[in-house]
Chains A and B, each alone.
Chain A
């Protein structure tokens, strides 16, 4: 009966209730859109990290990541590594010889990571071929070629065909330098990396460093993201002398960002709901003041504090949660549409997005994992919004409320 009374009371002022229900719907819709956008952005960022930066897992000699000392190469026999390629969870691996060095040109110089690669391996592991903007990814073995990021090329005012000098320390601690000719310019989604990573032939770099065919890094790509944890564990057991690190450890800023963005999207939702709760509370207060004679009459007849509290709370809940189903359905539909079509955010500033490592085309992803939490938050909003109206109605005095 109280439920029926509450429901009918909501519709006494249809316009006013519709405005509140519509604002809750719009607020939830906006909140879910933002969450979906964030989730889509993070998913694509993680995709980019895995597919073009780190791979799923990398193996290094312990300590190499700290100082990039070329003497710390992976000391494992080749057969064991070849065995890796045969495991059914692993799709591809790329072996890299890496050292820190300095690129110098008449226009200036810049510290870089010199990465010796095999182009075929990189095609499969980091998609380097797709990042080429000028020139080619391969070159005859007679020329010492180099691939440079667009950002660094721009900084040093270099184009394809020009020569640079690279200085580095070999494994015997000799300072060596050699001239390389830029064969190609690449551009990834992560501009800061484009400024430090230069690619050369693995074979040539090994020779210069005084290595035979040793490498410093083995990047591994899996068939499925879900194999990450089990494969990481298995590799750590298999190679106890190596540092086996998943992408989350290799790109801590990405996993930190994913967590931050998660928290941020909750905060945005909470802010929206707090704003809405003022509207809900205000509407309930108006409704109660308009009905003060009626509420006083019910109290006079013997309606206790508890039934009155339940009545006002139920009304607030109806008003608040009526928007949930509409918001969920419309939100889901809209988000799924954009999830297929994609959302072009280059208007927000391509430069800015790229400097943070984001693609400008976002495919929003409906936050299905957060629905229960969103609904719980809306219920909490209803509860919070009902407090003041309940206190107001309980403080009413039947005698004065019954007077004209």
Chain B
């Protein structure tokens, strides 16, 4: 399929920190196409973070393959994996997203800087995105002076700035109040529409789930349902 971004085939992961094996992901198959807006839901401990980390090349499955845009990332060496993440995957984390000593725009351009993009190109892209997320006046503000929602918006801008294959967001709204959570989801949805950016985010917030076009439910490391809403 030409517009496939992620193709996870029969992946499993078991943690064994204390000698008692804990299966976190069991025989998961996952297929995500370009431009999808996917919510990964499930109770705490169901394996959402583990799955996202493996799709994002942060963690290795014990078995199975993950193909991202034609590359089998489970076969990459760790140094190549770092490069692959830098050029292909955008991340928004639940917390610790921003570097406190850098301003909002310096944080936002961090990935483009690591990619060695030219200054003019960085500025243009960051300014455009800051305008879209309504943060143009906070460009030179340090994270500590921003609200939680504003910080997450900066993280979303950073993830999108380098135009990755897809953006992974692990519980991006978990630390936000509902107004800020909806606002962030609206912004992500808008960017999904306008830039045709693929988003996969995990959440256990029912109201946030309603915004998703496709909802994948995990229980005990297995996909128990995968439903796509038909456009109204």
Tell me the A residues contacting B by CB distance below 8 Å. 1, 5, 8-9, 12, 293-294, 296-305, 307, 398-399, 402, 404
Contact = CB atoms under 8 A, between A and B. Distances in A.
B163 to A, nearest CB: 14
B86 A302 contact: yes
Contacts of B95: 293, 404
B51 to A, nearest CB: 13
Contacts of A8: 101-102
Interface stretch (B26-34, B110-118, B128-136, B209-217): B110-118
Contacts of B87: 302
Given A5-B101, A294-B96, A399-B53, A303 B114 contact: yes
B59 interface: yes
B83 interface: yes
B120 interface: no
B182 interface: no
Contacts of A298: 99, 110
Contacts of A307: 114
Contacts of B97: 297
B86 A301 contact: yes
A304 B113 CA distance: 12
B146 interface: no
Interface in B60-108: 79, 82-87, 89, 91, 93, 95-97, 99-102, 106
Complex A-B, nearest 3 residue pairs according to Cβ-Cβ distance, in ascending order = A302-B86, A8-B101, A293-B96
A240 to B, nearest CB: 72
Contacts of B158: 301
Contact of A399 (B59, B86, B99): B59
Secondary structure call for the A interface = helix
B82 A304 contact: yes
A402 B101 contact: no
Given A5-B99, A8-B101, A399-B53, A301 B79 contact: no
B96 A402 contact: yes
Contacts of B84: 302
18 contacts: A9-B101, A293-B95, A294-B96, A294-B100, A297-B96, A298-B99, A301-B85, A301-B111, A301-B114, A302-B89, A302-B114, A303-B86, A303-B114, A304-B114, A305-B79, A398-B58, A399-B58, A399-B59
Contacts of B86: 301-304
A298 B86 CA distance: 10
A10 to B, nearest CB: 10
B159 to A, nearest CB: 9
Given A297-B96, A299-B82, 11 more contacts: A1-B106, A1-B113, A8-B101, A8-B102, A12-B100, A294-B96, A298-B110, A300-B58, A301-B86, A303-B114, A305-B79
